[in-house]
């Protein structure tokens, strides 16, 4: 039987803090996201992006590509792309969701066609400490 020291009838949680000990990993992720929930307007904790390969989009919906080219804010008649290891991709959607609306947003994102890539960036949980791998010697990696 282990004995844990309790403070105010609670077991102390060990959460690693960032930004000089002011923010947890979750709070840092939410602050860096700088988005609002699309449904309720609260600060978003999850970012959901839908990306499509440029070649696939040209093949499946050339009218949409022509509309993107015509309304490009850069003034050039090109399609803005994101370089990935799969090839150049077009960002079709980029939304944020709060913790309460997260499940509904993920269900909606799961209904995308199979030729779309859905990227979900969620924050780490505060309950678990963040483990950072720092190499001490060449060839060996330890956990801190």
Mean pLDDT, the chain, whole residue set: 78
Asked if residue 17 belongs to a domain, the reply is no
> In sequence order, which residues have a C-beta less than 8 Å from that of residue 83 and are 6 or more positions away?
89
Q: Residue 129: what pLDDT?
A: 56
Q: Is residue 58 part of a domain?
A: yes
pLDDT digits (tens, 9 = 90+) for 71-112: 887 777 788 888 989 899 999 889 999 989 999 999 999 998
Whether 110 maps to a domain, the answer reads: yes
Cβ contact 15:129 at 8 Å: yes
**Does 45 fall in a domain?**
yes
Model confidence band, residue 10 (pLDDT cutoffs 50, 70, 90): very low
- Burial class, 97, CB count within 10 angstroms (exposed 0-12 / middle 13-18 / buried 19+): buried
Domain-located, residue 137: no
* Residue 9: per-residue pLDDT: 44
In a domain, 138, yes or no: no
Find the domain containing 41 and state its range. 23-123
pLDDT exceeds 60 at position 142: no
The overall pTM is greater than 0.75 = no
Would you say 67 and 56 are in contact if contact means Cβ atoms under 8 Å apart?
Answer: no
The domain tally of the chain equals: 1
């Amino acid at each position: 039987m282990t004995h844990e020291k309790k403070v105010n009838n609670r077991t102390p949680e060990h959460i690693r803090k960032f930004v000089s000990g002011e923010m947890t990993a979750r709070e840092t992720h939410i602050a860096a996201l700088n988005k609002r929930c699309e449904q309720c307007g609260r600060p978003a904790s999850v970012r959901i992006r839908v990306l499509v390969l440029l070649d696939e989009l040209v093949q499946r919906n050339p009218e949409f590509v022509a509309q993107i080219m015509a309304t490009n804010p850069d003034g050039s008649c090109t399609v803005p792309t994101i370089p990935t290891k799969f090839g150049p991709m077009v960002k079709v959607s980029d939304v944020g969701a709060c913790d309460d609306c997260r499940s509904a947003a993920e269900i909606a994102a799961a209904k995308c066609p199979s030729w779309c890539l859905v990227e979900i960036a969620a924050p780490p949980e505060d309950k678990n400490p963040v483990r950072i791998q720092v190499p001490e010697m060449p060839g060996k990696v330890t956990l801190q």
